[in-house]
Amino acid sequence: MSIPLWIEIERAERSYEFRLNTLSALAPTWSATSPVPASWGKPVALWLIAMEHAANTMSTDAEFILFMETHLARLPDLINDMDHDALASVLENGMAAAVVSSVRSVLSKSHDLKPLAISFDYGPLQEAVGKMDRKSPVAVALTSAQWEKVPVQIRERSQFSARVESARFLQHIQDETRSSLAWEKEKVTPSDRAAGGEAFIDRSSFIASARKVAIEEGINTTTPNNYGTVRDIRSAKRLGLIWDMQTGNATEYARWKTSNDADVLDAFPAQRLVRIEERMVPRPSWYWPTRWAEAYFNVGGIGAVERDMVALKTSLIWTKLSRFGTPWPPFDYGSGMGLEDVDRDEAESLGLIGPSERLTPNEDPGFNAGFEMSVAGLESKLVNWLISAMGDTVSLVDGVLKWISK
C-alpha cells in the first residue's frame, strides 16, 4: 500500500517539495519540539527531524539539496525498521488521511520557518519611475537663476528646462527619461536608415531624439556665439546634462527613500560627501569644503561635523548644501560629488548620535498632498502655468497654492 505525500520545506523564500510514495512518512504525533514518539513512526520522525535541521543549518542551497537527495535515498531502509503491524492497525482504523494532514500541518506551520533572505535583482527602480510619473511639464521660459528661486516643492513636481517654453519638448524629455528608468523598449520602425526592432532608450538615443524635437519646435535658447555650449538646447552638452540630471535625480531619490527607513537609519544614520567622479576641469579644491562650511553655519552645525563633510542623514545641511534644495544628489550641475553611507559605530564616534538614540525619518520634500505655499514673489506666468498644467491637483485660494493630491 502506498500513500502519496508531499513534504514542503520553505528555505530562503524558495519552496522545496519532496514527494514520498511510501507509508513510512507518517508520523502523526511528531513536531519539532515534542519528544520523538516511541511508536511505529520513530524512524521516520527522526528522519524528518534531520530534514528540518538541514533546512535551518545548511550553509548553501546546493549543499541543502544534495543532503535532501541523499536523505531521501535512505527511506527504503527506514521502512524495514518500522513496526508494520502497528501501522497497519492505525490505517485500518481509517486514520491515514488524518495522519497525512497532521504531518503536512506540522511541517508547514508548526515549525514556524520564516527564512530571512537578502538578495539583489535586476530591473527598474520603481520609486524612480514613480517620481517621474508625478511630474508635469511646466513650459515657462524662466532662466535657471529664476528657477532656483522657485520652491523645491514646485520644482520637484515640474518638468522644466531653462528658457524652454515648448510643452512638447518637455513632455518628450519626461517620456524618454521615464521609459529609460522603467526599462521600456522603444519600437523602431524599419526604414532605409534603420534596421528596426525594439531598443532601450539610452543617453545617446535621447540626445538624438530630443535634438530632433527641439529643431522641429524651433527652440532657440541662446545666441549663435554660444551654439554648441551648454546654453544651447540642441547641443549634446546641454541635452546630456538634462539626461544626467533627470535620471540622476530620480535614482538618487529612490535611494534616499529607503535610506530614510527607520531601521536603515538606525544602522546607517549618517553619510559623507565624497568625490565619486573626477572631472576634466574640476572645481578648486577649496570649493566644496567652503560650501560645506557655509551650509554648516546655516544650520547651526546641527547633526553635522564641521570639517569632515559628514552629517546625519536627517540633518538640514544636505538641503542647504544642494543648489536644488533636495537632500539627495546631484547637489549641483555637472557635479562629481556624491554620498557614502556612514555606519552607526562611526556616527557615534563622531559624536553625531548617542548609543541609544533613534532618528526620526525625514519627510519627503516634494510630493506631500496637502502642501501649501504662498505664491507671493513667484513669477505670475509660472503661477498661471502651474494652475493650468496641474489641473485639479492644485488649488489657488487667497494667494495660497495648495496641492490636493498626486
Partner 1 sequence: MDFKVIDGITPELNRLASQLGDSRAIVAACGKRLEIELRAHFAALDKKPNSMGWPKRHFWNRQVRSQIALSQITSTTATVTISSPALVHRIQGGTIRPKRGKTLAIPANAEAYKMGSPREANVDQLDYIPLHQGNLVGALIRRFQSIIKRTKNGSTGKMIGGDVMYWLVRSVTTKPHPEDLPSDEKLSGAVMETARDVVARKLRIR
DSSP type of residue 256: H
Binding residues among 347-376 for partner 1 as defined by CB under 8 A: 355-356
Min dist. Cβ of residue 248 to partner 1 (A): 7
Min dist. Cβ of residue 250 to partner 1 (A): 10
The answer to whether 203 and 176 are in contact (CB under 8 A) is no
Out of 4, 8, 19, 61, name the contact with partner 1 by CB under 8 A: 61
The smaller minimum CB distance to partner 1, of residues 84 and 212, is found at 212
The smaller minimum CB distance to partner 1, of residues 105 and 258, is found at 258
The smaller minimum CB distance to partner 1, of residues 355 and 370, is found at 355
The smaller minimum CB distance to partner 1, of residues 193 and 307, is found at 193
Which of 249, 269, 251 shows the shortest CA–CA distance to 259? 269
Q: Residues 252, 258, 264, 266: is their CA dihedral positive or negative?
A: positive
Min dist. Cβ of residue 357 to partner 1 (A): 10
Binding residues among 125-184 for partner 1 as defined by CB under 8 A: 125-128, 181, 183
Q: Is 259 a residue that touches partner 1 (CB under 8 A)?
A: yes
Q: Is 281 a residue that touches partner 1 (CB under 8 A)?
A: no
119-123: long-range contacts at Cβ-Cβ below 8 A with a sequence spacing of 24 or more?
A: 119/13, 123/183
R_g (Cα) of the chain, nearest Å: 31
Which of 186, 135, 142 shows the shortest CA–CA distance to 159? 135
Which of 265, 140, 161 shows the shortest CA–CA distance to 213? 161
The answer to whether 279 and 336 are in contact (CB under 8 A) is yes
The answer to whether 101 and 219 are in contact (CB under 8 A) is no
Binding residues among 183-212 for partner 1 as defined by CB under 8 A: 183, 188, 193-200, 202-205, 207-208, 211
The smaller minimum CB distance to partner 1, of residues 78 and 268, is found at 268
DSSP type of residue 35: P
Binding residues among 221-250 for partner 1 as defined by CB under 8 A: 236, 240, 244, 248
The smaller minimum CB distance to partner 1, of residues 157 and 313, is found at 313
> Could you give the C-alpha distances from 47 to 26, 111, 217, 223, in angstroms and in order?
11, 15, 75, 82
Binding residues among 317-346 for partner 1 as defined by CB under 8 A: 338, 341, 343-345
Out of 145, 280, 376, 397, name the contact with partner 1 by CB under 8 A: 280
Number of residues that bind partner 1 (CB under 8 A): 69
Q: Is 119 a residue that touches partner 1 (CB under 8 A)?
A: yes
The smaller minimum CB distance to partner 1, of residues 228 and 301, is found at 228
The length of the chain in residues reads 406
State the DSSP string of 36-100.
PPSSTTHHHHHHHHHHHHHHHH-SSHHHHHHHHHHHHHTHHHHHHHS-HHHHHHHHHTT-HHHHH
The smaller minimum CB distance to partner 1, of residues 42 and 211, is found at 211
| Helix pair 236-259, 203-216: axis angle to 10 deg | 120
**Rounded to whole angstroms, how far apart are CA atoms 25 and 5?**
8
Out of 74, 84, 101, 115, name the contact with partner 1 by CB under 8 A: 115
Site residues (CB under 8 A) for partner 1?
11-14, 56-61, 114-128, 181, 183, 188, 193-200, 202-205, 207-208, 211, 236, 240, 244, 248, 251-252, 254-255, 258-259, 261, 263-264, 266-268, 276-277, 280, 338, 341, 343-345, 355-356
